[in-house]
Amino acid sequence: MSPDPLAFSLNIFRKRYPTEIEKKIGYLFKQPDLLKTALTHRSAAASQSDSYERMEFLGDAVLDMVVSDYLYNKYPRKPEGDLTKLRSILVNGKTLFEIAKINDLQRFMHVDKSLDLRCNSTLQNLLSCMLESIIGAIYLDSGIEPARKFIKKFIIAPKIKETLLSEYNYKGQLLEYCQKAGFNLPIFKTEKVEGPDHARQYTIAVYINDKLLGRGIGATKRDAEQLAAKMAYIRFTNKNE
């Protein structure tokens, strides 16, 4: 019996409803098999090409590029070293694992039962790799812009503020160090303010127990204070290692 041409034409326009994980990640795949592969660990794959390893490789590169592009444009005054450090925090395995875990992606992972997911290091590796493979799958399905949207929503937006505060709040870290060590609290002094209003440059020094321990130059007082605090904090921590 030949297929009904009318039924075939109607099938083309039939809407495919998103699966639970597609709702979770906010993306409906045009090629659902890509998502299936992205969720399949090699232990549960019929062949190596059916596992997420190749997509993970691609997703890792896409993630690096999108995060690098975001940081480069968002922070035009930050030096290369700071941008590299920020990127490494945003794309490392621990960060990706936390994001996958928060979004309960473990439930959708296809793995062999022999794998012990109670082992935290095993689970961290699997989930971080799977998140990269999902990025790779989205890129293969629709290109860079949907992948960029996913990365910004799930990785950059929830993590960038936390990353900046925890890793770059050297004033806070220096203050905490001084309190624990029994030192006087740091005192920041503005030494110079140069340049026109639209391109100011501040030079700020930090003193602890009347001793100059750091100096920073920045486009804002806050940036200069952070750089001065960073210098002082690194001096203390390196001395005591």
Q: Using an 8 Å Cβ cutoff, are 29 and 17 in contact?
A: no
Distance separating alpha carbons of residues 92 and 66, to the nearest angstrom: 14
Establish whether 210 is a catalytic residue.
no
User: Of the residues 60, 104, 162, 241, which is catalytic?
Assistant: 60
- 16-23 LR contacts (CB < 8 Å, sep 24+): 20/108, 21/105, 21/108
Q: Using an 8 Å Cβ cutoff, are 178 and 208 in contact?
A: yes
Whole-angstrom CA distances from 89 to 64, 121, 151, 161, 167 are: 11, 18, 14, 12, 9
User: Of the residues 56, 132, 141, 225, which is catalytic?
Assistant: 132
Establish whether 53 is a catalytic residue.
no
Catalytic residue numbers, as ranges: 60, 132
